Amino acid sequence: MPLIKKTEYDYPKWLFNGHLQTIIPGLFRSEIPLPFERERVNTPDGDFLDLDWLKQGSENLIIISHGLEGNSKRPYMAGMARQFFSNGFDVLNWNYRGCSEELNNKPIFYHSGATYDLDFVINHAEKPYTAVYLIGFSLGGNLTLKYLGEARNKTSKIRKAVAISVPVHLESSCQKISSGENIVYAKRFLRTLKEKVVKKAQKFPDEIPLGILRKIKTLQDFDDHYTGPLHGFKDAHDYYEQNSSLFFLEKIDVPSLVLNAQNDPFLSDKCFPISLGRKLDQVWMEFPKYGGHVGFSPRKSEDIYWSEKRAFEFITGNQ
């Protein structure tokens, strides 16, 4: 489809660059109380996933996937859930392995292409519903797009998808977040990832060596020594090449929106594939100039976030 060139996002003028548009909502957005109901499900390989539900007997289900080191109740997740729940949808916010404040049972955890878990969640959840819609933020956006483009059996109930702030090309985005002034973001992610590795090593000392941990300075180092090998990839490069959703977009056969801000400090130039976007039948690409990473704050505090408004418009309307 043609690129969506017109965008109505009007950012708060005091958030005058991509860093402020990323950091302020990430750190200072208020918690959103919602009546989530927790369900724990056991995976086929002997692990578990924690799912947080909002149910009201709807025929339509929204499944929302979070970003790196996020969880189901982060304000950006809860904000999106509230937008759809308040408009009649059932909502499922799910936690990746090890992201629900409890260490998971296996040496592996989660990664940008772990679509086997998303597939399991969809198959578990979709039975009572007429239609299923997918939304993913950042890593969760990559996961969603890769899943939709994979050659696998998928339920015909999936109608549309929205992917927000998506590093569709993982390697170049990982390099960008680990360079220059952006490295502050990478260090924050590395701190919690290393904490998880230390805890996991206590439980799985043979599978998870700690000798190299102090030498890891970047996310690519981490993926080279932990994410890649733990999940069956040769190294970080192999992991990125096999899991970047950019390489799956042409196979997506349900209407999907990629919403990436041009001033997103996490995203490389390859995350704005304009020439490819013009060729695709089912993938809409919208690249507003502003918004930051998982930002899109409203000008008035009482308004909904623009990404929530835009996702709702796409899923309920005609793109």
Which tokens sit at 85? 């729940």
CA distances from 74 to 42, 100, 191 (A): 23, 11, 18
What is the separation of C-alpha 280 from the centre of its chain, rounded to a whole number of angstroms? 22
Please answer whether residues 283 and 260 qualify as being in contact, where contact means their C-beta atoms are separated by less than 8 angstroms. no
Domain ranges in the chain are 18-168+246-316, 170-243
Helices (H), the chain: 18-28, 75-85, 115-125, 139-149, 170-177, 183-203, 219-222, 228-230, 236-243, 274-277, 306-316
What is the rounded distance in angstroms from the CA atom of residue 163 to the CA atom of residue 256?
A: 8
pLDDT score for 4: 86
Determine contact, residues 48/40, Cβ cutoff 8 Å. yes
| Cβ atoms < 10 Å from Cβ of 189 | 16
In the prediction, which pLDDT does 72 show? Answer: 98
pTM higher than 0.95: yes
Name the residue with tokens 């490389």.
268
Assign domain 18-168+246-316 to its CATH superfamily: Alpha/Beta hydrolase fold, catalytic domain (3.40.50.1820)
Which residue bears the tokens 């300075």? Answer: 217
DSSP bridge partners of 42:
48
> Which residue is it, tokens 């056991």?
42
The predicted pLDDT at position 9 comes to: 87
Looking at residue 169, what is its pLDDT?
98
CA–CA gap between residue 10 and residue 5 (Å, rounded): 15
Q: What is the pLDDT along the chain (319 residues), one digit of tens a residue?
A: 568 877 778 899 999 999 999 999 999 899 999 999 999 999 999 999 999 999 999 999 999 999 999 999 999 999 999 999 999 999 999 999 999 999 999 999 999 999 999 999 999 999 999 999 999 999 999 999 999 999 999 999 999 999 999 999 999 999 999 989 999 999 999 999 999 999 999 999 999 999 999 999 999 999 999 999 999 999 999 999 999 999 999 999 999 999 999 999 999 999 999 999 999 999 999 999 999 999 999 998 889 999 999 999 999 996 6
State residue 198's pLDDT score: 96
